[in-house]
Amino acid sequence: MAQPIVALNNISFQYPNNETNALSNVSLEIKQGEWIAIIGPNGSGKSTLAKIINGLLVPYEGEVKINGQQLNEETVWDARRAVGMVFQNPDNQFVGATVEDDIAFGLENNGIPREEMITRIEDALKQVRITEFKEHEPARLSGGQKQRVALASVIALRPDVVILDEATAMLDPLGRKEVIAAIRDLKEKFNLTVISITHDIDEASYADRIFVMNQGQMVKHDTPANIFSIGNELVGMGLDVPFAQKLKQALIQRGVELPEEYLNEEELFEWLTKSYLIK
Amino acid sequence: MLEKMLLGRYIKSNSFVHKLDPRTKLLGSFYFILIIFLANNWLSYLLLALFTFFAIWLSGIDIKFFLNGVKPLIWLILFTVIFQVLFTTGGTVYAEFWVFQITSSGLINGAYIFARLVLIIMMSTLLTLTTAPLELTDGIEHLLRPLARFGFPAHEIALMLSIALRYVPTLMDEAQRIMNAQRARGVEFNQGNFVDRMKAIIPILVPLFVSAFNRAEEMATAMEARGYRGGEGRTKYRQLDFDRNDLLVFVGYLLVTAVLIGLRFIAF
pLDDT band, residue B2 (cuts 50/70/90): very low
Phi and psi at residue B136, to the nearest 5°: -60, -45
When pLDDT is averaged across residues A26-49 and rounded to a whole number, the result is 90
Q: In this structure, what DSSP letter does residue B36 have?
A: G
Query: Does A81 sit within 8 Å of B170, measured CB to CB?
Result: no
**Site from A95, A151, A157, A161 to mutate, B interface, most B CB atoms within 10 angstroms:** A95
Nearest Cβ partner for B225 among A85, A107, A117: A85
Over the stretch A132-179, which tens digit does the pLDDT of each residue have?
998 888 888 888 899 999 999 999 999 999 999 988 888 888 888 888
Between CA B251 and CA B46 the distance in angstroms is 19
- How high does pLDDT run on average in chain A? 87
pLDDT at A103 over 90: yes
Domain range list for chain B: 1-131+239-268, 153-234
* Residue A228 vs residues A46, A59, A225, A262, A267: alpha-carbon distances, Å: 19, 31, 5, 6, 14
pTM listed for this prediction? 0.79
The residue that leads in pLDDT, B267 or B220, is B220
Closest residue of chain B to A57, computed from CA coordinates: B221
Between CA B68 and CA B186 the distance in angstroms is 35
Query: How remote is the C-alpha of B25 from its chain's centroid?
Result: 12
Closest residue of chain A to B226, computed from CA coordinates: A106
**Chain B residues lying within 8 Å of A104, measured CB to CB:** 237-238
Q: ipTM strictly over 0.90? A: no
Question: DSSP H helical segments within A191-264, as ranges?
Answer: 201-204, 224-228, 231-236, 243-253
Strands A23-30 and A35-39: unpaired
pLDDT band, residue A278 (cuts 50/70/90): low
Query: Does A93 sit within 8 Å of B219, measured CB to CB?
Result: yes
Between CA A122 and CA A116 the distance in angstroms is 10
Over the stretch B33-75, which tens digit does the pLDDT of each residue have?
999 988 888 888 898 999 999 888 888 888 888 888 788 888 9
| A107 in contact with chain B, both atoms CB, cutoff 8 A | yes
Nearest 5°: the CA angle A235, A197, A83 is: 160
Domains of chain A (ranges, CATH numbers): 6-241 (3.40.50.300), 242-278 (no CATH)
**Chain B residues lying within 8 Å of A89, measured CB to CB:** 218
